[in-house]
Amino acid sequence: MKPEFDLKAHVRHVPDFPKPGILFYDISTLLINPEAWRETVDRLKVAIEPYKPHKLVGIESRGFLVSAPLAYLLGIGFVMVRKRGKLPGEIIRHSYDLEYGQDVVEVQADAIQPGERVVVLDDLLATGGTMGAAIQLLRGVGAEVVAAASIIELTFLAGRARLDVPFSTILSYDS
């Protein structure tokens, strides 16, 4: 049995980014290490495979980095949920409230067929607002959202409580 790989050692903490008072959890240092990245993808695969999704949905933009290799490994499709105005063709949108204002997420109208089982992924779950909005958007196009997952969860922000699907993460930070 191989020893536990310390993935937290490969996540850089950047204080005051993107603005003062924010501690940014940077996965770019995880991505550049092939062993750490492989371990990350393998752990997420183990977490989401039991849900037997037809497609994986990545949230812009670092969620794409997580979802695409997993979809490839699982032999299933990959769908992008993006911010307003970044997808061509017919799109479906969902507006949601932020702490100060509103935002919009969109998906291409033909990306998911009604009844398809999907798992939503992002690099990090903070307050759960964007992931919750993506789940609502996907349900609006007829998807069966069976789970959600991320590499990192900031448990002190209680984002998991805003989700009404099973949620998996491989790294948690309590402060």
4, 90, 93, 99: the active-site residue? 99
Q: Is 62 a catalytic residue?
A: yes
43, 62, 82, 160: the active-site residue? 62
Q: Is 99 a catalytic residue?
A: yes
User: DSSP strand E in the chain: where?
Assistant: 12-15, 23-26, 55-59, 77-83, 91-98, 101-108, 117-125, 144-154, 167-173
Contact at 8 Å (CB) between 167 and 135?
A: no
Contact at 8 Å (CB) between 24 and 148?
A: no
**What three-state secondary structure class fits 126?**
coil
Give yes or no for a cis peptide into 18 (omega within 30° of 0). Answer: yes
Cβ-in-10-Å burial (0-12, 13-18, 19+) of 153 comes to buried
Q: Where in the sequence numbering do the catalytic residues fall?
A: 62, 99
